Amino acid sequence: MKVGIVGANGYSGVELIRLLQQHPYVTIEKIVSHSTHGKNILELYPHLYGVNEMILEKWNLDELSNLDFVFFATPSGVSKDIIPPLLDKGVTCIDLSGDFRLKNAGDYETWYKKTSAPAEYLQKATYGLSEVYRDKIKQAKLVANPGCFPTATLLGLLPALKKQIIHANTIHVDAKTGVSGAGRNANLTNLFTEINENIRAYKVGEHQHIPEIEQVISDISGEQVPITFITHLIPINRGILCTMYADLVEQVTTEEVHQIYKDMYKDEMFIRIRPIGEWPTTKEVMGSNFCDIGVMVNRRTNKLIIISVIDNLVKGAAGQAMQNMNIINGWEEHIGLNNSPLYP
């Protein structure tokens, strides 16, 4: 299968290169960049010597329409304009930006401060949370790959929501991410002297992933509920850790909740439920497509505590995108993704 990557010059784009190079059924035919076209990818990422030495090209609809599959690792506000004509030519597309995740155009414009994609294409898009919407993804021609925070948050919450053991309107999420989540563009906040030995909350109550999380919670629970969601930037390169709290509907034990999670994810190769009393860390999933989850019932407050971790560039971006490609093509989901995490 011939694939292309639009936005190959960013962190998610180069992560797609790393993962797709390992996939036995695909060949990377085109890598595209608006800002760095004409350069060899090695000029941006010398670690790719002997791995991928392609030239970054301009966007060309006719050339890309000859491919079977195209990934878009572009900033928000870009893919909404260039995916529709490619989709109309029959090319399957996976978008790693937020342009097609929200079904309501007004929500996108409110939270992203940009003009939305045409409504007909928003309805054509399938939300690509692999473990939850697998059956829909199998039939998809356009997949809206989930955001990194929503992936970690939703995979942590969904068993409790589906079993209705928590009050959905009491969910609080404390989310922490590494610096690569902000992309590769120069930014004062991301300078070493600003981020090192520091932690900061950002986009408090205004993060664009909030409506995405609420949309899925509504779909699963059947009710419209707002959540409290606070993001923090921490001085690590990659990784997300989400700590979630919610009121329990009735008294249950940690052992009972742990069994619910194990049962619900027993057939999911990329979800690892940690033993009771053992809490996952970002380093234990780094470079992998795993999501590790730990749970505990705080009997004193009658709250459920959930901690989930992912690599924001893999399960939170390129890895889940490749998992969705495997699903669409009827391939085993682990193909190209069965590497163990990098440690230490």
| DSSP 8-class letter at 111 | H
Q: Are residues 115 and 173 in the same domain?
A: no
CATH at 100 = 3.40.50.720
Q: Are residues 116 and 196 in the same domain?
A: no
The pLDDT value recorded for residue 120 is 96
Q: In Å, how far from its chain's centre is CA 103?
A: 17
The DSSP bridge pattern shows strands 228-233 and 291-298 to be unpaired
Q: Are residues 292 and 173 in the same domain?
A: yes
Q: Are residues 116 and 171 in the same domain?
A: no
Q: Are residues 184 and 282 in the same domain?
A: yes
In angstroms, rounded to a whole number, what is the distance separating the alpha carbons of residues 287 and 34?
27
What's the domain count of the chain? Answer: 2
75-129 confidence digits (pLDDT tens): 999 999 999 999 999 999 999 999 999 999 999 999 999 999 999 999 999 999 9
How would residue 194 be classed by pLDDT, with cut points 50, 70 and 90? very high
Q: Is residue 131 part of a domain?
A: no
Q: Are residues 300 and 226 in the same domain?
A: yes
Strand ranges across the sheet with 240-247: 200-202, 228-233, 172-177, 240-247, 303-310, 291-298, 271-273
In angstroms, rounded to a whole number, what is the distance separating the alpha carbons of residues 285 and 281?
7
Q: Is residue 103 part of a domain?
A: yes
The DSSP bridge pattern shows strands 2-6 and 69-72 to be parallel
In the annotation, is 148 catalytic?
yes
- pLDDT > 80? residue 263: yes
Mean pLDDT, rounded, for 276-289: 98
Q: Are residues 120 and 153 in the same domain?
A: no
For 13-30, b where at least 16 C-beta lie within 10 A, e where not — what string? bbbbbbbbeebeebebbb
When mean pLDDT is compared across 151-155, 173-177, 184-188, 317-321, the lowest value belongs to 184-188
Q: Are residues 267 and 167 in the same domain?
A: yes
How would residue 273 be classed by pLDDT, with cut points 50, 70 and 90? very high
130-171 confidence digits (pLDDT tens): 999 999 999 999 999 999 999 999 999 999 999 999 999 999
203-216 confidence digits (pLDDT tens): 999 999 999 999 99
The pLDDT value recorded for residue 85 is 98
Mean pLDDT, rounded, for 296-314: 98
Name the residue type at position 297: V
Mean pLDDT, rounded, for 225-232: 97
In angstroms, rounded to a whole number, what is the distance separating the alpha carbons of residues 229 and 206?
9
Give residues with Cβ within 8 angstroms of 6, minimum separation 6. 13, 32, 33, 59, 64, 70, 71, 72, 73, 74, 79, 82
Q: Is residue 183 part of a domain?
A: yes
Q: Are residues 108 and 163 in the same domain?
A: no
Q: Which domain holds residue 172?
A: 149-312
- Residue written as token pair 């990659």: 238
What does the chain come to in residues?
A: 344
Q: Is residue 140 part of a domain?
A: no
Q: Are residues 154 and 288 in the same domain?
A: yes
The pLDDT value recorded for residue 187 is 84
Q: Is residue 208 part of a domain?
A: yes
Name the residue type at position 231: T
The pLDDT value recorded for residue 185 is 80
How would residue 247 be classed by pLDDT, with cut points 50, 70 and 90? very high
Q: Are residues 172 and 265 in the same domain?
A: yes
Query: What's this model's pTM, rounded to 2 decimal places?
Result: 0.97
SS3 of residue 126 by DSSP: strand
- pLDDT > 80? residue 186: no
Task: Spot the catalytic one: 93, 148, 242, 291.
Answer: 148
- pLDDT > 80? residue 48: yes
Q: Is residue 57 part of a domain?
A: yes
Give residues with Cβ within 8 angstroms of 157, minimum separation 6. 166, 171, 217, 244, 246, 306
The pLDDT value recorded for residue 220 is 93
Q: How many helices (H) and strands (E) does the chain have?
A: 12, 13
Q: Are residues 204 and 90 in the same domain?
A: no
Q: Which residues pair with 55 in a beta bridge?
A: 40
Choose one of 89, 124, 159: the last residue of a domain.
124
Q: Is residue 58 part of a domain?
A: yes
CATH at 162 = 3.30.360.10
- pLDDT > 80? residue 227: yes
Residue 239: which of 161, 187, 316, 173 has the closest Cα?
Answer: 316
- pLDDT > 90? residue 183: no
In angstroms, rounded to a whole number, what is the distance separating the alpha carbons of residues 65 and 63?
5
Across the chain, what does the average pLDDT equal? 97
Give the sign of the dihedral formed by CA 201, CA 202, CA 204, CA 210: negative
Q: Is residue 82 part of a domain?
A: yes
